[in-house]
Amino acid sequence: MKPHAPVIIVKRRRQGHGGHHGGAWKVAYADFVTAMMAFFLVMWLVGQSQQVKANVAGYFRDPGVFEHERSKGILAGGAPGMEAGGTPRPVAPPDDPAALARERQALTDAAERIRESLSRVPDIATLRDQIEFTITAEGLRIELVERAGSSFFDSGSAVLRGESVRILMIIAVELGKLANDVVVEGHTDRRPYAKGNRYGNWELSADRANAARREMEGAGLTAGQLRTVRGFADTELHLTADPLDPRNRRVSIVVRSQVAAALDRAIHENAVTNP
């Protein structure tokens, strides 16, 4: 009887299909994401104001960072470049260090002139030391800070004392010589009014800021120079460690830098155009 022949079994491995095109989906996905980004950018741009559209167009006409004349930024107040009609606007950009230094010096000089004018009035000697001058990123901040027993207003009211009116007139005359916007703020301490009184620190801070505004507009600020009147109550304390300290009660006069004013206007205009 013939012996059985050996059975030979051949096993073949199936090759996976992902080896030769495993990364293709990544390329397709990247193309899809890029297309969606472009789509949403176009949709955003369609809803913008003509000024923003012109500024974006100006950027793509001249995107270089080493050119002397760069395109205007999307926000108003950016670097100068091309207007909507393609005409160059040769104005120093607000981020120009030389322009910023000149404006800072102009605000410093204005503060010094106010100090000198106040020093020549003996009637306000008591309150003179309660006027603080600070140069900040926002501009020049002049603060009329109250102290225990020495106030610019009648106690608990927005009625200015005679010396305070004189001080505000001197400040207004000097600020009226500048082209900068002015903001007036009112602040209080955290001492509450009597329970049940509907007139509180919010009303008092706003009324005091408005009283200062009224005197300054009548004494020297130019038409349209005063931009905003704000009442902060006790939300921005001068001395956070002691909320009841009388020095938290103050009126702040902010002479805004051109950069701060331009940025604020751009944000406001964009919000109005695209609510």
What tens digit of pLDDT does each residue of 69-112 get? Answer: 333 333 344 434 334 444 433 434 455 788 888 899 999 999 99
pTM equals 0.64
Instruction: Report pLDDT for 31.
Output: 77
Instruction: Report pLDDT for 39.
Output: 73
Are residues 190 and 237 in contact, defined by beta-carbon separation less than 8 angstroms?
Answer: yes
The neighbour count for residue 271, using CB atoms within 10 Å, is 9
Instruction: Report pLDDT for 94.
Output: 54
Instruction: Report pLDDT for 12.
Output: 62
Q: Alpha-carbon distance 255 to 33, whole Å?
A: 46
Q: What angle do CA 116, 120, 124 make, to 5 degrees?
A: 105
Instruction: Return the domain boundaries, the chain.
Output: 24-93, 97-264
Region 31-45 average pLDDT: 75
Is the pLDDT higher at 54 or at 244? 244
Collapse the DSSP code of 260 into the 3-class scheme (helix H, G, I; strand E, B; otherwise coil) and give the result. helix
- Positions of E strands within 224-274: 226-231, 250-256
CATH 3.90.1150.10 fits 97-264, yes or no: no
Q: Alpha-carbon distance 218 to 172, whole Å?
A: 9
Q: Alpha-carbon distance 236 to 239, whole Å?
A: 9
The pLDDT tens digits of the residues spanning 198-217 come to 899 999 999 999 999 999 99
| Residue 54 reports pLDDT greater than 70 | no
Report DSSP letters for 115-161, one per residue: HHHHHT-GGGHHHHTTEEEEE-SSEEEEEEE-BTTB-SB-TTS-PBP
Give the tokens for residue 131. Answer: 């006027």
Under 8 Å CB-to-CB from 261, ≥6 apart: which residues? 77, 180, 181, 227
